[in-house]
Amino acid sequence: MGYKKAEFESTADPGFMRYVSPNLMVAQFQHGGALYKYEGVPIEVFVAVITADSQGSAFDKLVKKGAYPFTRITAEDVDAL
């Protein structure tokens, strides 16, 4: 599916998201460029976030507060996924 660039108002929200494989999503945050992988995220949740009117709010509600396990990763880790 590749990267989905999105605009967000909150500095805590991702600058882009990528659905890497079934149930694995990567998000990079705008400020600082931190990369995180979120495991167990269904494609339906990913699509709901990237198509939401407020993507930042959707990300916070559906992914962050959805209790999906996450790990901070590097750009090299993303390339290996």
The sign of the torsion formed by the CA atoms of 55, 35, 16, 9 equals positive
How much is the pLDDT for 41?
94
CA nearest to 49, candidates 29, 35, 64? 64
Q: What are phi and psi of 42, to 5 degrees?
A: -70, 150
Q: Are strands 35-39 and 24-29 parallel, antiparallel or unpaired?
A: antiparallel
How much is the pLDDT for 21?
83
Q: Delimit the domains of the chain by residue range.
A: 3-80
CB-neighbour burial class of residue 61 (10 A; exposed 0-12, middle 13-18, buried 19+): middle
* pLDDT(13) > 80: no
- Distance between CA atoms of residues 29 and 9, nearest Å: 12
pLDDT in tens, 27-58: 887 767 788 999 999 999 999 988 888 888 89
Q: pTM score, two decimals?
A: 0.75
